[in-house]
Amino acid sequence: MNKELLLMPNSSWMDGSGNESDIVLSSRVRLARNLVRIPFPNRADIAQLAAVERKVVELLSDIETVTGKACDFIELDQLTSLERNVLIEKHLISNNHVENPENRALLLSEDTKVSLMVNEEDHLRIQCMVSGFDLVEPFRLATQIDDVIESKLDLAFNEQIGYLTSCPTNLGTGIRASVMMHLPGLVFTRQINKIINASTQLGLAVRGLYGEGTDVIGNIFQISNQLTMGFSEKEIIENLSSAVMEILTHERAARKALYSQSPDSMSDKVWRSFGILKYARSIAASEALGLLSEIRMGIDLGIIQNVPAEVFNELLVSTRPNFLQNKKEHANLSQSEINRERASVIRAVLSSLTNA
């Protein structure tokens, strides 16, 4: 495995280059698939899990042909617990994937846009991610990879139900499409609960930065489809896309209202956040992401100029606790030492932007 994967915070799918990237940080499509005659990972024995791994390794060259990128096959039990947690912080694997790392693996393209979790909750979790708002491209790529896999392996499929999955919520299409959105305007104007309630009524799920069961930090939300059965993949993508466009409209209106009603107050709030982060000597993770969120909104509103928006995306990863620990060569840092290291990383990044 390329060690830079664990040491560099940036991923190409979070580089800020995509559509609507001032609000939508990234888009992802994930397909859940299982092999016939092999129990789901939570019921399979070691030999059966190993058999799944071998079958995926045999597909490596075919997947590289589809993606046009070299791919790495990473055995999770060959990584330290800290290194596995860094991959979670980079959104490449899930918490479920590392609970028991033996015979669990990750197939990852060199640009990190394609990741295939092996023996997570399902035998295969195909993930394709891009920067900004674009569900069409990751769906196209995920479907191509799925076609290659299905041409070589027998997948668990029922004519009436669709694809069979470990969790009933993924039955049918097995698709989970999601977008990661930065919504400080809706949070600050206290409209976010209305958006969450409306999204739920449309069959969507609204979750925190790392998906199901995680808290919302830095005003970052993951919006995804909740239903996978009874609808076609196209309908699921279109339903989510329409909802995201509505949320985009409301977020832009909220930001405009906040700034137009009190530009001096908003500017002061943004620059205070910038000042705290530029000079703080110790800062907790949640506070850092909250202040970074305000800075990012200030960049998007033109209050802060000559600071690239992708700095926010970079610091989303480089300030996380496991990434900081790993960067210090696995030093067993205390919480106070992590907070100091986080502040140091942020100071270095913001101080390097001499025109700010």
180 annotated to bind ligand: yes
Q: According to the annotation, is 177 in a ligand binding site?
A: yes
Of the candidate ranges 119-123, 180-184, 227-231, 277-281, the one whose mean pLDDT is the lowest: 227-231
- Out of 26-35, 163-172, 223-232, the most confident range is 26-35
Nearest-5° Cα angle at 172, 166 to 175:
80
Q: Which domains does the chain have, with CATH numbers?
A: 4-254 (3.30.590.10), 263-351 (no CATH)
**CA 194 centroid distance within chain:** 24
Burial classification of residue 50, based on how many CB atoms lie within 10 Å of its CB (0-12 exposed, 13-18 middle, 19 or more buried)? middle
Provide long-range contacts, Cβ within 8 A and 24+ apart, for 324-328: 325/82, 326/6, 326/7, 326/82, 326/83, 326/86, 327/7
What integer pLDDT is reported at residue 356 of this predicted model? 47
Q: pLDDT at position 2, please?
A: 67
pLDDT value at residue 58: 96
Which percentage of the chain shows pLDDT scores above 90? Answer: 78
Ligand-binding annotation for 254, yes or no, is: no
CA–CA separation, 169 vs 57, rounded Å?
28
Would the pLDDT of 227 be above 90? no
Query: Does the annotation flag 132 for ligand binding?
Result: no
Say whether 97 counts as a known binding-site residue: no
- Among 112-116, 152-156, 306-310, 344-348, the range scoring the smallest mean pLDDT is 306-310
CB atoms within 10 A of CB 54: 8
Binding site annotation covers 26? yes
211 is in an annotated binding site: yes
Amino acid occupying residue 268: D
For residue 355, pLDDT over 60 is answered with no
pLDDT (tens digit per residue) in 65-107: 999 999 999 999 999 999 999 999 999 999 889 888 999 999 9
Please indicate if the annotation marks 84 as binding a ligand.
no
Q: Six-digit token pair at 219?
A: 């005003």
> Residue 178, annotated ligand binder?
yes
Helix (H) or strand (E) holding 27: strand 24-33
Residue 214 has pLDDT above 90, yes or no: no
Mean pLDDT of 139-168: 95
Determine if residue 307 is labeled as part of a ligand binding site.
no
Residue 125 assigned ligand-binding role: yes
* Average per-residue pLDDT for the chain: 92
To the question of whether residue 209 is assigned a binding role by annotation, the answer is yes
User: Crossing angle of helices 335-351/310-318, nearest 10°?
Assistant: 160
* Of 139, 78, 68, residue with least CA distance to 109: 68
The arithmetic mean of pLDDT across residues 22-47, rounded, is 96
Residue 348 labelled as part of a binding site: no
Q: Is 329 annotated as contributing to ligand binding?
A: no
